[in-house]
Amino acid sequence: MSEPFMTLRHLALPLCLALAACVQDSGPSEPYAFVGSWDCGVDTFTFTNTTYNNGSDTYPILNVARDGRNYILRFANGYTIALAAVTDTGLTWISGASGDQFNCRRVK
C-alpha cells in the first residue's frame, strides 16, 4: 500500500469518532427508568422522557445524564434535579438549587 493511503486509513476512525461525538443524542429508544408518576410526600411528580411535572407545572427536560441508577436532569435557566437510586418502586429526588430531598414511591 502506498504511504498516503495508509495515512488516510489511520485518520478515518478518529475522524468518524469525532463526528459521532458532535451528533446530538435524540434520547433513549426506551423510557428512562424514572418515567412514570411518583408520590414524593409533598406532591406527585410525573416524568416522561422529555418532561417533568412537579404537581402543578410541566417543564421540558433539556438533558439527561445517567450514572448507573442515578440521573441528573437539566432544565432551562441552569436548574437541575437528581434522581438517585432509581428502582422499579422508588427513587430519591434531590433539588440542585435548594438541596431538598424526597423519598418517592412509584404510583404508576
pLDDT tens, position by position, 25-73: 445 678 999 999 999 999 999 999 999 999 999 999 999 999 999 999 9
State the total domains in the chain.
1
pTM: 0.73
Q: Is residue 4 part of a domain?
A: no
Tell me which H or E stretch contains 83. strand 80-84
- Domain of 38, in residue numbers: 32-106
Q: Is residue 73 part of a domain?
A: yes
Greater confidence (82 vs 108) lies with 82
Greater confidence (5 vs 80) lies with 80
Q: Is residue 10 part of a domain?
A: no
Q: Is residue 88 part of a domain?
A: yes
- What is the rounded CA–CA span in Å between residue 61 and residue 48? 9
Q: Is residue 6 part of a domain?
A: no
Q: Is residue 63 part of a domain?
A: yes
**Residue type for 3, please?**
E
Say which range, 19-28, 31-40, 91-100, has the weakest mean pLDDT. Answer: 19-28
pLDDT confidence of residue 79: 94
